[in-house]
Amino acid sequence: MNDPHDTPDLTGLIHHPYLPPAGFEAPQVGVYKASTVYFPTVADMRQREWKDKSAYTYGLHGTPTTYILEERLCALEGGLQCVLVPSGLAALATVALALLKTGDEILLPDNAYGPNKALAEGELRHYGITHQYYDPMQPDDLSARLNERTRLVWLEAPGSVSMEFPDLPELVRRCRQHGVLTALDNTWGAGLAFQAFDLLGDGQCAVDISAHALTKYPSGGGDVLMGSIITRDQALHLKIKLCHMRLGLGVGANDAETVLRSLPSIGLRYAAHDRTARALAHWWGQQSACVQVLHPAVPGAPGHAHWRAVCRSGLAAGLFSVMLHPRYSQAQVDAFVDGLKLFKIGYSWGGPVSLVVPYALRSMRTLESAEVAQGTLVRFSTGLESAQALLSDLQQAMQAHLPTA
């Protein structure tokens, strides 16, 4: 056996003299990985401040890589402060944990992202925080549910799966009048379709918080989980930032770098996903197998007028659902989905591969919707394949599994 004292002195591999050159510039940001960061002196350690990003104190509090990603996401969404979390769902949960206490109530749209409802029904309920679901297409229903215990109202535009686009400025106005904070799940709009912090384009109507599943379009690869929480009010940001710190939430440097590398192409990708989704939605509108196309940019779809008013960019995400005719059994619809070759069966969206999921909408809703037809729902997210190839795939699966009446 070797005497441990025989091992060579490798201190030079640890305390190396090399410093990165100050003059080095390149298109992409470096991957700065750290738990520990150094302080030159104890005095410096004691006075360093991380909450305003003026310095570095610990990896969990931020690195050059995460600070730069936060700044760029603020530029994308028109916010001033940003907190990064390990998933989109963690963004929703962090907002709730930062702002709510026992006895408070939150309101969620009935068509909210399912796991956000599960959080309200699970942990929040266990902590003595109650919730109600409101009909996002009826601002009066929201108003009727606002009460002295309401602390936070979630907004989603459009809603998950059924894709109704609400009158977002009106919902925000109702909450404002009541003095209640608004938090928007901004994953669909992604900072591109509309401006969450300037909904009407006149600087007069803004949500308080924008939560974004960066997992979707900012990542763009179907390979990274991350979320952001963006605000414009410093006191509100600090509340969220301190909760974030106490919960010990952080993101990996390589993941942050992946999102940074994808961000410059988000506008091009979003527009491409949008174009393809609209071509497919248009095709579905001509099929007798389909009783309703649920895509807010399609005339006649629930909330189309609200989409036009708020999404003045004319853009929409590459995400839509179709309600198939009630004459089809769930087994037939499942066989149709199984029969698709280019569309992969899987959750999430925003990557290069088109995805499809059949949803049992009835079991996901508490309130009756007057706007969504009866039938069996299938949700599509378009990837970056050609629209023609995707249409051929839909056609072959339909011919095989959805017989015309």
Ligand X SMILES: *Cc1c(COP(=O)(O)O)cnc(C)c1O
Binding site for ligand X (CB under 6 A): 87-89, 113, 160, 185, 187, 213, 215-216, 225, 227, 348
By beta-carbon proximity to ligand X, the closer residue of 89 and 205 is 89
By beta-carbon proximity to ligand X, the closer residue of 56 and 136 is 136
The pair of three-digit structure tokens given for residue 352, joined into one six-digit string: 């290069």
What amino acid occupies position 17? P
Minimum separation from the CB atom of position 32 to ligand X (A): 23
Separation between Cα atoms, residue 136 and residue 364, nearest integer Å: 15
Minimum separation from the CB atom of position 405 to ligand X (A): 34
Minimum separation from the CB atom of position 53 to ligand X (A): 24
Length of the chain: 405
Q: Which residue has the tokens 């989109």?
A: 88
326 touches 373 (CB < 8 A)? no
Minimum separation from the CB atom of position 228 to ligand X (A): 10
By beta-carbon proximity to ligand X, the closer residue of 117 and 241 is 117
Q: Which of 123, 341, 339 is nearest to 247 (CA)?
A: 123
By beta-carbon proximity to ligand X, the closer residue of 193 and 398 is 193
Separation between Cα atoms, residue 198 and residue 312, nearest integer Å: 11
134 touches 166 (CB < 8 A)? no
Tell me which DSSP letter residue 83 carries.
E
Separation between Cα atoms, residue 89 and residue 213, nearest integer Å: 7
Separation between Cα atoms, residue 155 and residue 200, nearest integer Å: 16
By beta-carbon proximity to ligand X, the closer residue of 90 and 298 is 90
Q: Is 194 exposed, middle or buried (0-12, 13-18, 19+ CB in 10 A)?
A: buried
By beta-carbon proximity to ligand X, the closer residue of 92 and 402 is 92
By beta-carbon proximity to ligand X, the closer residue of 82 and 213 is 213
132 touches 277 (CB < 8 A)? no
The pair of three-digit structure tokens given for residue 186, joined into one six-digit string: 């901004």
Collapsed DSSP state (helix, strand, coil) of residue 179 = coil
What amino acid occupies position 37? V
- Closest residue to ligand X: CB criterion: 88
Separation between Cα atoms, residue 158 and residue 111, nearest integer Å: 9
By beta-carbon proximity to ligand X, the closer residue of 215 and 376 is 215
